[in-house]
A and B are shown apart, each in its own frame.
Chain A
């Protein structure tokens, strides 16, 4: 049996995206916009998310490279989802160059997305965790109390000493 494999003609081109890693906050009840730069590419870019269960728009964006090599700005909007609660998503934003050829190039940008529900701390920021920071007045109260306790103990010990004599 013969099998014919056809390849659609496509021009070779590299594609670059910057930055290579991002971290941003997305309010669960809203959205966040993040800007990327596309280098050395003309055509359609398909945007998708890996391990980030949110919605991104646009899903496809057309890019025309400038003649002087200036990168092209692409703005992506990430929409929150209240049902997911406050979470940190460590995933990737994928930019796939749609050239129509049999060989394609894509860039994965590592992304840390802090998905925040108002009033609901992110994991790791809950009271008692590593992210907890004592307010100044708390340290003041603890410091005074500790000092008072030490002085009280010393004064008691001294009184005991005197009684023994």
Chain B
């Protein structure tokens, strides 16, 4: 009896746990909440210089090691702008402003050690729009023009193949890595209204997409960036490349919605950029699956709530922000107003002529007339008829065919034959009506 009780309790536990799992998985992911949690984490980890530690595992605030890594200011702070746009929480805008002010104070023209990153340009432009302060964008454009002029061998318009090759080489002969650099730089150029440079970068990038190897560590991130960039430059001109990128990314998505990396953080980052690229291309369903994976894998307990980490793996501030941006990108396309219109089927017929006058007709004689029935509605109809009125008509008027189907815009003729019996006794005026009925087929 004791064993039986244990078995029963065990069964209860297993049964309830089995029921609980699908209930949790079926619920729609709360993107807003995920964005807020991630942004709160970024704000908590931000340093006084507006930057972040790169590795933030176990941290609940900036480590105090300054300066913060120079290459992750913009890419991380973009998440703050996204969070502000989603939540309207001023704290995120204030935090973004700290980063923006820091970047506005940097100039390669005066300090040769400064390197304004692709995401920095984009962040400054976006923050300029957010704050209404054009000085941020002006600074970005000014720095970009300086670089184009003074590091012309790489950045002058027309030298995109050279800079691409540099990225390819510096990434360890990785076209995925080169695409990772080319896409964001192109997006930055677009943001700064340098469409010529962006267009020429797109030509070069498109020409190398086929070179991204299936084993390239950076292939998903590179393709995600390429997809976002080519779509932004000219979605019509690059329709073939865009379709290939969508197909490639969709085909390599794991069943759980992620894009697998060699390590956990790689998977998070792969997924983030694949989602952003697909969302930019309007591939809502597959992007949403990826965003769902990100939301499901966001840390919800302990000191690192809002970030992305696993046991024995590091957490990176940059990746936390990238995951946030990916979720927001899906939220953005989910916020698009879809339009639907219900056009009801109209059942309509018209008959010509509108009346028949058989005139004077003697008993024993037959007379017929032709009627045309037309379908004036928006659906196929079945037309039948009915004769009402005096018995002369109800008993002796034949209409052929008895029914007909009329396609959209179609018409058919009916023969209405009045056969007055030879022994017909009544006389005088008799009246009747042929009713043509139509109903949707």
Contacts and interface: CB of A to CB of B under 8 A. Distances in A.
Interface of A: 1-21, 37, 39-40, 92, 94, 96, 99, 101-110, 140, 143-144, 147-148, 151-152, 155
A13 B348 CA distance: 10
Contacts of A3: 360-363, 392, 420, 424, 426-428, 430
Q: Which of B346, B374, B429, B430 has the most CB of A within 10 A?
A: B346
Given A1-B427, A101-B433, A147 B354 contact: no
B57 to A, nearest CB: 41
B427 A96 contact: no
Given A2-B361, A152-B4, A144 B16 contact: yes
B357 interface: yes
A103 B11 CA distance: 75
B356 A15 contact: no
Contact of A12 (B351, B434, B440): B351
A39 B376 CA distance: 10
A108 B361 CA distance: 34
Nearest to B379: A20
Given A13-B350, A108-B437, A5 B357 contact: yes
Interface of B is mostly: mixed
A140 B27 CA distance: 18
Nearest to B388: A104
Contacts of A148: 7-8, 11-12, 15
Contact of A16 (B4, B14, B348, B435): B348
A106 to B, nearest CB: 5
Interface string B84-105: 0000000000000000000000
B255 to A, nearest CB: 25
Contacts, number: 175
Nearest to A152: B7
A89 B432 CA distance: 32
A94 B363 contact: no
A151 B350 CA distance: 72
8 contacts: A3-B427, A4-B429, A6-B431, A16-B376, A21-B345, A144-B12, A144-B15, A152-B8
Contacts of B392: 3, 5
Contacts of A151: 7, 10-11
Interface in B403-436: 418, 420, 424-436
A140 B440 contact: no
A104 B439 contact: no
A143 B7 contact: no
A65 to B, nearest CB: 13
A92 B434 contact: no
B347 A8 contact: no
Interface of B: 3-4, 7-8, 10-12, 14-16, 18-19, 344-363, 371, 374, 376-377, 379, 392, 418, 420, 424-440
Contacts of A10: 354-355
A101 B433 CA distance: 7
Nearest to B352: A12
A18 B7 contact: no
B256 to A, nearest CB: 25
A151 B429 CA distance: 90
Contacts of B434: 102-104
Contacts of A37: 344, 346
B346 A20 contact: yes
Contacts of A143: 15, 18-19
B440 A21 contact: yes
B433 A17 contact: no
Given A1-B362, A5-B392, A152-B7, A147 B346 contact: no
Q: Which of B18, B345, B371 has the most CB of A within 10 A?
A: B345
A12 B216 CA distance: 75
Contact of B348 (A4, A40, A99, A104): A40
A148 B351 CA distance: 72
A5 B436 contact: no
B439 A108 contact: yes
Contacts of A17: 346-348
B221 to A, nearest CB: 42
A14 B348 contact: yes
B261 to A, nearest CB: 38
A106 B376 CA distance: 13
Contact of A140 (B19, B349, B379): B19
Contacts of B3: 155
A8 B434 CA distance: 13
A11 B353 CA distance: 9
A143 B374 CA distance: 60
Given A1-B363, A151-B7, A107 B15 contact: no
Contacts of A155: 3, 7
